[in-house]
């Protein structure tokens, strides 16, 4: 065992504050990022709940909910080796009139309704799909009923002035702002044409599966190069693009950055203070070693090793805490996405901060003079 670790264990109550500060920083960063990713996961729900490999939209589509109409005739452009039968996909914002009056924004999502359709949301059961084949019917997420002023199946509201009937309630497609209204392609076209006649022969996206999903990226690249007026993405790319767009557009990333920075700062100050105090508490022992001619850099090394261990212990303890708090948040209805990249990032950042705190604490070693033992 190293001298640094031995000291840490022996004087654990002294170093606990530093370990706690690192733990706090790591948990704060991981959970904040997790919550934010969870929040912005909602923006890519149509992509994440479909089984399409390719998404084709208008030029420069920034996010799945911001697609603009493209001619349905583009469907012929997807006739390429390795690409399966393409399908039409409607997605656009619309005005929802609640049964009791009042308005809400919603997003109409019109897809093919058999299980074979790549665009068909996986949250729909066979029964839902069957019910949605009836014209002007919709399904919505349980959590969005309130936003739309709906209470139960059978309730009616208006979308772009056209009456629709709720035929099913699903879960897992909670919206960020505009509830998703799942419906058939026919219903969607009718609802969207009401305010935008272009939709009579246009769609928002063309979707397709690939014979080998691994080739999707190459095919997307080829199509995009061939038809510059189209955006072509793989499902993964489009999902990430949608999340990143809203993350950056809403400046939520900036808020997150500040909060994380604050967490790191608090962690760094407490860790530095802990190390500084601990080093000063051992100042006489270190001064004796210096008197004996032991190079000062050895003591610097000890303090830096201590800061390393404080960081490592803090980060290790943070791991189960993040999972526990993430679980609690999920139980409370939140969504926390705990990805290994986020955990690794939080670990690297807080370890770095701990080492930085160690560097700051070296000031204490610099001030130790063996002569002080003779006064």
Partner 1 sequence: MPSASSNPSLRSVRLERTFGDGATRRVALSQVTFDLFPGRLALLMGPSGSGKSTLLAILSGLLNPDAGQVLAWEGGGYVDVWGMSQTQREAFRLRQVGFIFQGYNLFPAFTAAQQLEIVLKWGQNASSSDARRRSHAMLEGLGLGGQMNKKPSQLSGGEKQRVAIGRALVKGSKFIFADEPTSALDWENGKLVLELLRREAHEHGATIFVVSHDSRMLPYTDIAYHLEDGHLGELSRSPLADLS
How far is 57 from 42, CA to CA, in rounded Å?
20
Q: Is the torsion defined by CA of 44, 50, 54, 57 positive or negative? A: negative
How far is 269 from 278, CA to CA, in rounded Å?
14
Q: Is the torsion defined by CA of 185, 112, 136, 59 positive or negative? A: negative
Nearer to partner 1, 249 or 284 (CB): 284
How far is 365 from 276, CA to CA, in rounded Å?
8
Residues 176-205 touching partner 1, rule: CB under 8 A, are none
Count H helices, E strands: the chain? 12, 11
The 10 Å CB-count burial string (b at 16+, else e) for 76-89 is ebbeeeebeebbbb
Residue 153 phi/psi, 5° resolution?
A: -60, 135
Region of 78-86, 185-193, 195-203, 277-285 interacting with partner 1 (CB under 8 A): 277-285
How far is 152 from 186, CA to CA, in rounded Å?
23
Instruction: Output the smallest distance, CB 2 to partner 1, in A.
Output: 11
Task: Report whether 109 contacts 183 (CB < 8 A).
Answer: yes
Instruction: Output the smallest distance, CB 353 to partner 1, in A.
Output: 25
- Residue from 85, 248, 348, 373 touching partner 1 (CB under 8 A): that is 373
DSSP letter for 123, please: T
Chain length of the chain = 375
Nearer to partner 1, 127 or 369 (CB): 369
Residues 352-371 touching partner 1, rule: CB under 8 A, are 370-371
* Contact between 288 and partner 1 per CB under 8 A: yes
Nearer to partner 1, 225 or 371 (CB): 371
Cα 367 to Cα 277, 360, 370: the distances in Å are 13, 13, 10
Region of 45-53, 131-139, 200-208, 290-298 interacting with partner 1 (CB under 8 A): 290-298
Instruction: Output the smallest distance, CB 364 to partner 1, in A.
Output: 16
Q: Is the torsion defined by CA of 263, 265, 270, 271 positive or negative? A: positive
How far is 155 from 371, CA to CA, in rounded Å?
86
# chain residues binding partner 1, by CB under 8 A = 23
Nearer to partner 1, 245 or 309 (CB): 309
Nearer to partner 1, 15 or 276 (CB): 15
Nearer to partner 1, 9 or 115 (CB): 9
* Contact between 284 and partner 1 per CB under 8 A: yes
* Contact between 13 and partner 1 per CB under 8 A: no
* Contact between 287 and partner 1 per CB under 8 A: yes
| Residues paired with residue 159 on neighbouring β-strands, in sequence order | 96, 162
Neighbours of 371 (CB within 10 A): 9
Tokens read off for 200: 């009579």
Instruction: Output the smallest distance, CB 144 to partner 1, in A.
Output: 59
Nearer to partner 1, 88 or 299 (CB): 299
- Residue from 76, 101, 293, 333 touching partner 1 (CB under 8 A): that is 293
How far is 132 from 144, CA to CA, in rounded Å?
18
- Residue from 126, 248, 294, 328 touching partner 1 (CB under 8 A): that is 294
- Residue from 257, 295, 324, 366 touching partner 1 (CB under 8 A): that is 295
- Residue from 92, 282, 306, 354 touching partner 1 (CB under 8 A): that is 282
Nearer to partner 1, 50 or 282 (CB): 282
Nearer to partner 1, 152 or 297 (CB): 297
Nearer to partner 1, 4 or 349 (CB): 4
Region of 2-10, 119-127, 314-322, 339-347 interacting with partner 1 (CB under 8 A): 2-10
Instruction: Output the smallest distance, CB 9 to partner 1, in A.
Output: 8
How far is 229 from 207, CA to CA, in rounded Å?
16
How far is 13 from 244, CA to CA, in rounded Å?
43
| Residues paired with residue 202 on neighbouring β-strands, in sequence order | 71
Under the rule (CB under 8 A), what is the footprint of partner 1?
A: 3, 6-7, 9-11, 282, 284-285, 287-289, 291-295, 298, 370-371, 373-375
């Amino acid at each position: 065992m190293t001298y640094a670790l031995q000291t840490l264990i022996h004087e654990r109550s002294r170093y606990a504050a530093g370990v706690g500060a690192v733990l706090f920083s790591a948990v704060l960063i991981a959970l904040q990022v997790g919550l934010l990713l969870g929040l912005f996961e909602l923006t890519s729900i149509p992509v994440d709940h479909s089984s399409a490999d390719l998404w084709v939209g208008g030029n420069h589509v920034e996010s799945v909910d911001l697609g603009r109409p493209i001619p349905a005739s583009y469907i012929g452009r997807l006739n390429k080796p390795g690409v399966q039968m393409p399908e039409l996909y409607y997605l656009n914002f619309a005005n929802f009139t609640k049964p009791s009056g009042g308005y809400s924004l919603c997003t109409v999502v019109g897809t093919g309704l058999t299980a074979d359709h790549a665009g068909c949301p996986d949250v729909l059961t066979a029964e839902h799909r069957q019910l949605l084949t009836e014209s002007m019917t919709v399904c919505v997420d349980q959590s969005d009923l309130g936003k739309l002023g709906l209470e139960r199946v059978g309730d009616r509201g208006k979308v772009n002035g056209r009456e629709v009937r709720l035929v099913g309630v699903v879960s897992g497609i909670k919206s960020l702002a505009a509830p998703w209204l799942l419906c058939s392609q026919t219903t969607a076209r009718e609802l969207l044409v009401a305010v935008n006649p272009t939709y009579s022969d246009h769609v928002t996206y063309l979707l397709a599966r690939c014979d080998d999903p691994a080739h999707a990226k190459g095919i997307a690249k080829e199509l995009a190069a061939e038809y510059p007026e189209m955006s072509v993405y793989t499902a993964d790319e489009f999902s990430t693009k949608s999340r990143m767009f809203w993350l950056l557009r809403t400046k939520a990333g900036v808020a997150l950055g500040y909060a994380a920075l604050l967490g790191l700062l608090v962690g760094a100050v407490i860790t530095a203070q802990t190390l500084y105090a601990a080093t000063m508490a051992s100042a006489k022992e270190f001064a004796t070693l210096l008197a004996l001619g032991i190079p000062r850099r050895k003591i610097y090394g000890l303090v830096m090793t201590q800061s390393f261990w404080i960081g490592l212990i803090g980060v290790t303890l943070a791991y189960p805490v993040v999972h526990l708090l993430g679980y609690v948040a999920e139980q409370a209805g939140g969504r926390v996405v705990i990805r290994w990249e986020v955990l690794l990032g939080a670990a690297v950042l807080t370890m770095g901060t701990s080492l930085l705190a160690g560097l700051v604490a070296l000031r204490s070693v610099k001030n130790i003079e063996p002569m002080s033992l003779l006064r």
